[in-house]
Amino acid sequence: MENVHAVFNGTFDNLENIKISPLSRAYTFSDSVYEVIPFHNGKGIAFDRHIKRLQKSCNSLSISANIDLISKEIIELINKSKFKDGYVYYQVSRGVDQIRSHMFNADISTETFGYVVEHTFKAQSIKVMLCEDVRWQRCDIKSTSLLGNIMSMNNAKNSGCDEVIMHKDRVITEGGASNVFFASNDCVYTPNLSKNILPGITRELLIEKIKASGINVQEGSFKIDDLTDAKSIWLTSSTKGLAQVIEITNQETNIIVDHPLFLECEKIFKNNFLS
């Protein structure tokens, strides 16, 4: 991509000019964490929550990070871009090894990298497929190690789908790059947080706002069979917002497209964060 504003270890430049060492542990081991910070009208959406999650991810992997400096760099990327809407991708790696080794030196210097992309938050209707969750046991950490997600999502793509809903022994976990919601009997349901589920910021915001509006929300353990009778299913993420599922290709459903409860949740989200 040409003329994309980026920052690497504190130095701002065009993305195409940035060079990263092949011995970066982000490259050799996916020993890094990341955050995707959306912005609307030039202002970060839930900025502080994204920064807090990035700090938590770093702490979980014992990666040192100057969060105050990172926050300033993200804001500067947004300002430099002059985009109305978009997102910043920001990654924090443990650093560069002298030689590839599973064991890292305690004095290794943290490596940081980010760039900004223009993005329009449009309503989406998507087709998904169900798949077994084959990922590691710490999906609550926003790590760049995402091969399980990648394999599942590309299998879905090759089957004509846009996303996946993953499950462990038929218990719903999350989407390939999203959290899962469904509605039935005037109630909104979503899997409760665990080490198998990333604590999505959009998920968190939506739950708070729709609860405040009087909509009943239940967090718990749900099986893929519960999706059969759901009247509405949607996925949430920082770049998707709320994406309505119109079909699960490998399971029968009773989905009502544009169900009133989904439309109400979508309206609440847009009014609070995209107006």
Least Cα distance to 231 among 267, 275, 186 occurs for: 186
Question: What's the DSSP call for residue 228?
Answer: T
- Alpha helices (runs of H) in 82-169, residue ranges in sequence order: 147-158
Written as one letter, the residue type at 190 is T
CA 66 to chain CA mean position, Å: 22
Token pair, residue 34, equals 């990341």
Contact status, residue 141 vs residue 60, Cβ threshold 8 Å: yes
Helix axes 201-212, 47-60, angle to 10 degrees: 130
Helix, strand and coil percent figures for the chain, each rounded to 5? 30, 35, 40
| Residue 138 neighbours by CB distance under 10 Å | 12
Q: Exactly one of 19, 56, 80, 142 is catalytic; name it.
A: 142
Q: Is residue 168 among the annotated active site residues?
A: no
CB pairs under 8 A, 24+ apart, for 9-13? 9/111, 9/112, 9/113, 10/69, 10/73, 10/112, 12/76, 12/77, 12/80
Q: Which residues are catalytic?
A: 142
